[in-house]
Amino acid sequence: QSASFAHDADGGQHIAYYDATFRQLKVPHRPDPDSPWAIQTVTTTPLTGQYCSLAVGARQSVAGDATVTAGANQAVILRGVVVSPLLIGGRFQAGPSTTTYGITDVNADAGRITLDASFTGSSGASVLCTVAFYQPVIGYQEGNSRRLLRVARPRARGRQRLSVGEK
């Protein structure tokens, strides 16, 4: 079994590891050493991910629609962006405003993100928004197969899993 660690360009910390207790491949991250870890499960297939490697590339930006309220420190994502722990430490911008807010927490079930400051723009039921975040890429072995390697990119548009060497 193995674990892999990487820093992003802003000093955020990312880890990929196999949780032997629950038999899951997980990717915790935090935007800085003083923040709590946000953990995302990559796969729950037994024995998958015991040997993994992690890389973190450039910050990714995804456009979508959100409901925002002036003076509130939360926004509800309506479409275009999947709310997941991956967004914590990312950046949020909505409407014509150029103000960017840090994302400090998420409620994936409600599609809600918590911002580091109160929203100063105009309230809106469906405004264009942009979410920027770091996307980890995890390479791992599938189950007991020594020949089947996979690459996963957990991201804010759902999890994408690619197979290496398959057609």
Confidence of residue 75 (pLDDT cuts 50, 70, 90): very high
- pLDDT tens-digit readout, 83-112: 888 888 999 999 888 899 999 999 988 999
Residue that has been written with the tokens 């590339």 in this structure: 57
Query: Radius of gyration over alpha carbons of the chain, in Å?
Result: 17
CA distance 162 to 166: 9
Indicate if the pLDDT at residue 132 is higher than 70: yes
Q: Determine contact, residues 82/153, Cβ cutoff 8 Å.
A: no
Global pTM?
0.78
Burial class (CB in 10 A: 0-12, 13-18, 19+), 41: middle
Q: Residue 3: left if φ>0, alpha if ψ -120 to 50, beta else—which one?
A: beta
pLDDT band for position 154 (50/70/90)?
A: low
CB 53 within 8 A of CB 17: no
